[in-house]
Amino acid sequence: MSSIYDFTVKDRKGNNVSLNDYKGKVLLIVNTATGCGFTPHYDPLEAMYEELNEKGFEILDFPCNQFANQAPGTEDEIHEFCKMKFGTKFPQFSKIDVNGDNAEPLFSYLASEKPFEGFGKGLKNVALEKFTNANNKKFGDKAYIKWNFTKFLIDREGKVISRFEPTVDMAEVKAAVEAQL
């Protein structure tokens, strides 16, 4: 696979969606969870979407329950929660695995293009790294994503530009998106 446009994913209703449909747009692809300490990321994500969508920006939201069972609902329950609590309007796709033998191929590809480089410095980041290492041990070399709200920035040509761990300040994520627009 040479770009993300070669992938087909499932929308939250189970229909196939070719990522080629997003060709020419700047994308932020995110694995999410509704019961995570990072769930408040939905607020700045939605604000960014509202502000930048007309300039050719899309957020692709993929719920995942692999991290301490923090996205336990159905696709419809997750969608309603996000809509009611955070007013999200960006596309939400089918709940997926991002690690292990059943990992969504798109996320395996994204992580191979931009591997994990750490959560950064600070006590909270070190604690998160220890917790994620214990959680992801069961996936071995297929622990592609370390935690919820890992974000991948894709340029208009389908190239993976950046990976943002959930510990990265959302202002930094927004600045990187704006630079691509």
8-10 vs 16-18, strand pairing mode:
antiparallel
pLDDT, tens digit, 9 for 90 and up, residues 5-18: 999 999 999 999 99
Mean residue pLDDT of the chain comes to: 92
Helix (H) or strand (E) holding 26: strand 26-32
Q: Whole domain around residue 174: which residue ranges? A: 4-180
Segment 70-80, tens digit of pLDDT: 888 888 999 98
Q: Is the pLDDT of residue 42 over 90?
A: yes
The arrangement of strands across the sheet holding 26-32 comes to 57-63, 26-32, 151-154, 160-164
Residue 143 reports pLDDT greater than 90: no
Known catalytic residue: 64?
A: no
Q: Is residue 45 a contact partner of residue 128, using CB atoms and an 8 Å limit?
A: no
Cβ atoms of 146 and 111 closer than 8 Å: no
54: pLDDT strictly greater than 60? yes
- CATH number, domain of 118, equals 3.40.30.10
* Residue 100 near residue 137 (C-beta atoms within 8 A): no
- Residue 137 or 44, more confident: 44
Q: How many separate domains does the chain show? A: 1
Q: Which of 36, 59, 60, 111 is catalytic?
A: 36
Cα distances (Å, whole numbers) of residue 38 to 8, 25, 65, 150, 177: 27, 26, 14, 10, 19
